[in-house]
């Protein structure tokens, strides 16, 4: 797994943990204190049943390396090459940390690691994948 061994960036003043497949809903998160901002970190815990090629191939992402805030996180980690999906679920769940960054005027699309991302015009918020690490199977839902 790429980037898992890199040190995490400095702690953020806002963080939250979601269990996939919850989608990022900025209005929901804003009821928890404030809207996410550039530099904030969000952790997704992803059950192994969602970590398959077929599951990700039906989802949408926009961007390359920097994704729109509403891009599917599983497809993004596969598209970026940070995590390789297979046909069957792995024997582990994942913890994926994303860091918000400012929105871009244009997100390019590309085919990478057998997954396609689409082009998108201006978006208010982006994310980059900060780290991916395995966690014991079943712990994503704990």
Dihedral sign, CA of 26, 29, 33, 36?
A: negative
> Is 0.85 surpassed by the pTM of this model?
no
Judged by DSSP in three states, 30 sits in helix
- Are 94 and 47 spatial neighbours (Cβ–Cβ below 8 Å)? no
Q: What is the pLDDT of residue 109?
A: 98
> Can you list the domains of the chain with their CATH numbers?
15-136 (2.170.130.20)
pLDDT band at 115 (very low <50, low <70, confident <90, very high): very high
- Are 97 and 42 spatial neighbours (Cβ–Cβ below 8 Å)? yes
Q: What is the pLDDT of residue 17?
A: 81
Share of the chain above pLDDT 90, in %: 66
| CA distances from residue 31 to 48, 101, 135 in whole angstroms, order as listed | 29, 20, 29
- Are 75 and 118 spatial neighbours (Cβ–Cβ below 8 Å)? no
- Are 72 and 56 spatial neighbours (Cβ–Cβ below 8 Å)? yes
């Amino acid at each position: 797994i790429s980037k898992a061994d890199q040190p995490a960036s400095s702690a953020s003043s806002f963080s939250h943990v979601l269990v996939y497949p919850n989608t990022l809903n900025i209005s929901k998160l804003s009821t928890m204190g404030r809207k996410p901002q550039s530099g904030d970190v969000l952790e997704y815990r992803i059950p192994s049943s969602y970590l398959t090629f077929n599951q990700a191939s039906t989802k949408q992402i926009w961007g390359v390396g920097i994704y729109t805030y509403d891009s599917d996180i599983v497809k993004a980690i596969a598209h970026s090459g940070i995590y390789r999906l297979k046909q069957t679920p792995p024997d582990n769940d994942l913890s994926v940390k994303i860091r918000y960054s400012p929105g871009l005027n244009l997100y390019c699309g590309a085919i990478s690691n057998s997954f396609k991302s689409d082009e998108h015009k201006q978006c208010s918020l982006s994310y980059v994948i900060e780290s991916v690490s395995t966690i014991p199977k079943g712990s994503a839902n704990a």
